[in-house]
Structure 1
């Protein structure tokens, strides 16, 4: 990711509230990549919706507070899978 090449994986961190999951992504955003290359949101429609222009030029997308129930997560994962595993992402 730091070299600008597309990564073909999702890192999913799940634990209770206040357990410090954000420490890892905050460190990467602040000290490794910089805030200009990272987009953070709690809305999965950012990538799944029709308008995702805010992702242009970003190398890391942080989706926070995603569903934790198995059925909701499986639905979101299926929608994200194509975006993650394809070589390109369409940005209208």
Structure 2
């Protein structure tokens, strides 16, 4: 939305308005109109600058994005699956650290 690039559902964060507040919908199951963002602060910044979130969600005025920004930062702090592999010291084979 913010960067106008497409992505897979698993690569994006869905946001919805609940009681007038913009909140993340990590399970993508909340009722009502939702908008999708990349889990990148730059994408959220662009959406705010373009005022895209109120338009996409069809609500008046600016929205408080603190809860969404916290979710995006939490996702950014999590290591990517590619960062969870290491090389076994003896065999040189890669091991997936996420299964340990």
Select the structure that is richer in helix: 1
TM-score (norm 1): 0.28
Q: Which has the greater radius of gyration? A: 2
